[in-house]
Amino acid sequence: KINLRERSIYTKDLTVSYSLHIDDKTSILRVIKMLVVNDFLLTNISLSNVNKDNFNTLVKNIKNIPKERSTYELLVDIRKKMRLYHKTELGNGIEILKEIVLKMSMIQKSVNYIHVDFQKEDQVLSIKEKPKNLSNLVTFLKKVTPDYKKSDYLENYTKAFLDKYGPYTEVPLLVLLDPDKGLGSPYSKIFSISDTSNTKQSILLKEAIIKSIVSKNKYCDIENCDLPDLSDQEHINNFPTSLELYVKTIFCADNSALNTMIIPNSGSDKSGKTFGRFTYMFNRSNPISHMPEEIEVVDTPKNKRVLNVMLTNTNNSVVNVGTTGPDKNSIDIKDILVGVERDGESYYFYFKSRVTKKRLFFSATSMINYKNGEYLSYIASFLIEASHNKESNPFYIIRLLENFDNFPRIPAFYYKNIILTPLRWNFNKYTLGNFASKSELTAKFDAFMERWEVPKLVFLERNDNRLLLNLNLKIHRNELIREILSKTNVSIYEPILKNSNKLAEYVYSLTDNNLKNTTSVPLITRELDVAFNSRERKFILGDDWLYLKVYCSRNDLNTLITYKLSSLYKKMHDEKYIKLFHYLVFRDPETVKSFV
């Protein structure tokens, strides 16, 4: 048996003192590491037993080992260099990083040595400085958003209804969706993509935007793009009466007047959807709690992971699909009638109550994609989509500006002080030309960088994920080149990171019949300070509950919950900071990541 009361022991002493039948040092260390990782051998440097900063605790314990004095001095020097690097300007400090890696390699050889946050500690615009012109922006978007065909399959379903029943004939919902008695489901297994390019209005919009792109300006004022004014009364009536905008505060070096930016996920088409089941925690006088004309569709999702963000508390009437709920304000799905009426040149579905004879309008108050068959039943999807089919997409123009991949550089479009889409560069066969190998692509890539003035710091985005690249670094350039080789089109974006040390996103709700002169009121602020030693914590979603989301690898999940989170919760409970705590674990099946 090994005497665990000793402060330290060397591997050569293990073989001599304890007669271990292992000859080489590497094998001994491998066995010890396996024992430590599996908690058969507990030591004072086991990460699972450390509930504070692992690195600083390790330095402290190494200090108590006399024979490791040189290692301790190296670690102290590394810590100083890391703190110095943290204070350097974005894109600088490469030499300091090399020193850190060199000293780490003197202790232990490794493939990766350090994780770097590309943020610096400067001031950021406060939430007290409310962004200007958000209401004016919505009014402008209303004027230039065209009418368009939102759903091919729903249009085909409307034609089938007219052929079978005729206009202004009302059929029970469950009969219509029954494949034997009615038409069956309006959806195929693969959802169709809306075709928004087949109207005269959308063609005029694209032509105006292309003129701005070929002007080769880096920044374009969208008010000067000669977009057609579509603000006739019939068109405006199709614009949503409430919406949410997702924005962040910025500092743009090229144009100091630009201090606000619409983030990639621009917002929602209904006030309150962002918060889903947490809406009840806001002030009851808030307009998002008083929309009696809208009926909430309550459905049990096929994917149970989204239950956490779906609404479970509402002041409005509800219809339960595939689930049960309270009778109060509840509408029986058997009492819903479906009809088709003409509006202009098109036909649209409408819903009516068999009992009250009143029109029904169904909605969802969460950000769950009701068009995605993986989440809601086709009955719930049909109720929501058909109710909103006549409405315009308030972010149509922003989505349109994100197209045009065949141009090498797309300018940043802004409205007054608000950036709608950032400066963007596209890499594909149209902007680079044909290439048969990595070497050919590298030459074309270098020429592109110089001609189109690509900065050294850029964002590479994949869906909701953003990777900050420094194109002066060979490893980062190779990462981007690999991406270009594997994809038909790759876009990179100007990061606009200067003087911003926080990842702050604000949700603004605008609710008004005309959406004019509406005051922008922040419903919630999420501020995440990426500084590792920050003591500031932001409390959101009311005073009753604090929600924390922690990402980790699956290998670290048990350690995180068993030691770190449990210890934190127990300490907070003992200090009477909290009364109760729960945790949920979700695992991403396509990666090795989990979040708690």
- HEC states along 310-322? CCCCCCCEEEEEC
Q: What percent of the chain has pLDDT over 70?
A: 64
Per the model's pLDDT, the better-predicted residue between 148 and 167 turns out to be: 167
Q: Give yes or no for a contact between 549 and 596, defined as CB atoms under 8 angstroms apart.
A: yes
Please report the pLDDT score of residue 101 as a whole number: 86
Per the model's pLDDT, the better-predicted residue between 398 and 300 turns out to be: 398
**The two structure tokens encoding residue 251:** 């500092």
Evaluate if residue 208 carries a pLDDT over 80: yes
Residues 144 and 293 in one domain: no
Q: Which residues of 259-279 are buried (b: 16+ CB within 10 A; e: fewer)?
A: bbbbebebbbbbbbbbbbbbb
d(CA 506, CA 517): 20
Query: How do beta strands 346-353 and 359-363 pair?
Result: antiparallel
Please report the pLDDT score of residue 430 as a whole number: 92
Amino acid identity of residue 491, one-letter, is: S
Q: Give yes or no for a contact between 175 and 182, defined as CB atoms under 8 angstroms apart.
A: yes
Please report the pLDDT score of residue 290 as a whole number: 46
Average pLDDT of span 110-137: 60
Residues 368 and 440 in one domain: no
Please report the pLDDT score of residue 491 as a whole number: 93
Evaluate if residue 288 carries a pLDDT over 60: no
Query: Which residues span the domain enclosing 590?
Result: 548-596
Please report the pLDDT score of residue 500 as a whole number: 47
Residues 514 and 454 in one domain: no
Please report the pLDDT score of residue 351 as a whole number: 92
Residue at 1 is within a domain = no
Residues 174 and 323 in one domain: yes
Evaluate if residue 48 carries a pLDDT over 70: no
Q: If you ran DSSP here, which 8-state letter would residue 74 be given?
A: H
Please report the pLDDT score of residue 337 as a whole number: 92
d(CA 427, CA 432): 6
Cα 252 to chain centroid distance, Å, stands at: 22
Please report the pLDDT score of residue 270 as a whole number: 76
Please report the pLDDT score of residue 277 as a whole number: 54
Q: Is 160 helix (H, G, I), strand (E, B) or coil?
A: helix
pTM of the model: 0.60
Evaluate if residue 512 carries a pLDDT over 70: no
Residues 415 and 430 in one domain: no
d(CA 16, CA 24): 12
Average pLDDT of span 419-443: 91
**The two structure tokens encoding residue 383:** 């109720």
Residues 259 and 405 in one domain: yes
Evaluate if residue 59 carries a pLDDT over 90: no
- Residue 341 bridge partners (DSSP): 348
Residues 460 and 518 in one domain: no
Residue at 304 is within a domain = yes
Per the model's pLDDT, the better-predicted residue between 578 and 404 turns out to be: 404
Residues 249 and 308 in one domain: no
